[in-house]
Amino acid sequence: MDVFEAIEKRHSVRGYTGRHIPGEDLDMILRAARDAPSAKNLQPWKFIVVTDRPTLRELVPICHNQGFVEDAGALVVGITEDEKWSVVDLAIALDHLSLAATALGLGTCWIGAFHPDEMGEKLGVPDDYTVTMCMTVGYPSTKGKSPTKKSVSELVCKERYRER
Ligand SMILES: Cc1cc2nc3c(=O)[nH]c(=O)nc-3n(C[C@H](O)[C@H](O)[C@H](O)COP(=O)(O)O)c2cc1C
């Protein structure tokens, strides 16, 4: 699958079969995250990969009761150092992960609705890191597609800003 196909196929998946993700596939998507660009190449992130089912279950209330977290093959929890562009850097890395996962037939969903302090406490995150963003990864149990996106012409201004 080329990158354009992965971009087109990717959509938020909120239903998973609970099937185990093979270690090689997890390694591949984590390498894709690792290869992402970051400001000054600081790579100010770590990824905590939770696959243990009872732990995933315990994370559901921390993720604002988003029940599909329990059925995912993994919850990737992105934690960042206190650097100017950390949040942007992590977002790029997780987007790489998401596209790589799509290419392997896996679904993903960004999880921004969660309690960072409780997540950090539960996963033993040290104080010098912030729990910034999470992403479920797993085999989809539902057939979904992305909601409608704005047209490119609505989003793009040629040469300078111009009201439509
Ligand atoms: C920063 C961020 C946080 C998000 N948090 C959640 C979340 O907590 N739960 C959820 O179901 N979807 C979450 N989403 C997914 C968005 O709802 C989804 O990307 C959007 O509706 C567009 O759909 P698509 O991903 O299928 O293109 C989040 C997306 C982003 C980028």
Pocket of ligand 1 (CB under 6 A): 11-12, 14, 66, 109-113, 146-147
Q: Is 17 exposed, middle or buried (0-12, 13-18, 19+ CB in 10 A)?
A: middle
Q: Whose CA is nearest to atom 9 of ligand 1?
A: 111
Looking at the chain, how many residues does it have?
164
What are the per-10-residue average pLDDT scores of the chain (164 residues)? 96 97 98 98 98 98 98 98 98 98 98 98 98 98 91 94 79
Does residue 85 fall inside a structural domain? yes
Q: Residue 164 falls within a domain, yes or no?
A: no
Question: Looking at the domain assignment, is residue 161 inside a domain?
Answer: no
The closest of 42, 58, 38 to 50, measured between CA atoms, is 58
Q: Specify the pLDDT at position 163.
A: 78
141 within a domain of the structure (yes/no): yes
**What pLDDT is stored for residue 144 in this prediction?**
84
pTM: 0.97
Residue 58, domain member (yes or no): yes
Q: 46: domain CATH number?
A: 3.40.109.10
Residue nearest to atom 17 of ligand 1 (CA): 12
**What's the domain count of the chain?**
1
Q: Is residue 160 part of a domain?
A: no
Q: Where in the sequence is the domain holding 61, given as residue range(s)?
A: 3-155
Q: Is residue 162 part of a domain?
A: no
pLDDT at 164: 63
